[in-house]
Structure 1
Amino acid sequence: MSIVFTVGYEGTDIDRFVRTLKAAGVQQLADVRAVAVSRKPGFSKNKLAAKLAEEGIEYLHFVALGDPKPGRDAARAGDFDGFREIYGAHILTTEAQDALRSLTEAVQGAPTCLMCFERDPATCHRTIVAREVSEALDFDIFNLFADDPERYVRHAAKLPRFHPCESVTAA
């Protein structure tokens, strides 16, 4: 079984964030934010992409998989049922389904981590996206927490690893 990672950058800085990705063996970061701008230094799209490139990690942005503003507002207000309902409808849109197919293809090629802001995967739409990908590919989901990358260094042998999908050839 292979793996898709998820991570939020809430409560961390860019250096710990990147160390966490590297410790887990991530080669691609799939940004699933609708708006890839952040007040946190280093997490806006262009700076993040440049930092990741320096570290050998590819940056991919899937705007259509971002949580629409009403969903973000509901989550911010603590209305997680409302948030899930809004995002559940959004992910069924043509644009989101096209982006989901593209993300699923990308995830098959290299160890990939889905990223959004929220630290807690239970309250973030990236978990919904990760479930869709994992069901399509029969992958497991592993949630990373970027505030203490050393935990992944200390326990590196216990981390799940990516196994490329084997293609089936016609006989």
Structure 2
Amino acid sequence: MAGPTIWTIGYEQATVAGVMAALSRAGVEVLADVRALPLSRRPGFSKTALAGAAKEAGIEYRHFKELGTPADGRAAARRGDHTALSAIYAAQLELPEAMAAGAVLAGLACERKVALLCYERAAAECHRTLLREAVLPGFEAVDLLPDDPA
């Protein structure tokens, strides 16, 4: 018997429409925004606008701030220092508030089709893979790519 599934998606070089199309095609029911700061220079990807777009697509939006990467982890990611990112993020996940948020996410993902959202297009370069491995170890991962802009 197959275990539960978790979907992931990054919005780097994507449009909101492209992200929503990929999520809808996969049957995702809940978009779990796992950014510490749900802000973006990319139009439509800040929290309020993204939540509105998700709602229009019939997808529930949930922000899990506590599961985001702290500032020093984001700096390590920008430098391409995945070793430092991994260590910093592992410490983040040991915080009581992150453990509680992780438990909520795991429970939600056992009941509904959930996709983890962050910026990086390649899941292997993003903390969402570290999150999945630490908090959802028995889950099969499906890393979605947004539809290309028209």
TM range, smaller chain: over 0.9
Q: Contact 2:21–2:147 at 8 Å: present in 1 too?
A: no
> What's the counterpart of residue 162 of structure 1?
none
The answer as to whether partners of 2:36 and 2:68 remain within 8 angstroms in 1 is: yes
Report the secondary structure of 1:84's partner residue. helix
- What corresponds to 1:71 in structure 2? 73
Please say which structure displays the higher CA radius of gyration. Answer: 1
* 1:103 has 2:105 as partner: yes
1:113 alignment partner in structure 2:
115
**Aligned pairs for 1:1-150 within 5 A:** 1=2, 2-135=4-137, 138-148=138-148
% identical aligned pairs: 42
- Give the count of matched residue pairs: 147
Alignment partners' CA distance in 2, 1:52 and 1:92? 30
SS in 2 for 1:72: helix
Partner-residue secondary structure (3-state), 1:104: helix
Aligned-residue offset at 1:147: 3.8
Give me the whole-angstrom Cα distance separating, in 2, the residues matched to 1:108 and 1:90: 23
Q: Check the 8 A contact 1:27/1:111 in 2, yes or no.
A: yes
Q: Is the 8 A contact 1:131 1:141 kept in 2?
A: no
Gaps of 5+ in 1: 150-171
Letter of the structure 1 residue corresponding to residue 107 of structure 2: E
Note the C-alpha offset of 1:133: 3.7
Structure 2 unaligned segments of length 5 or more: list them.
none
AA in 2 matched with 1:38: S
RMSD: 1.3
Q: Distance in 2 between matches of 1:71 and 1:128?
A: 12
Paired AA for residue 111 in structure 1: K
- Cα distance in structure 1, aligned partners of 2:92 and 2:135: 16
Q: Provide the TM-score with structure 2 as the length reference.
A: 0.93
Deviation of 1:95 after TM superposition, in Å, equals 1.1
Q: TM-score, normalised by structure 1?
A: 0.82
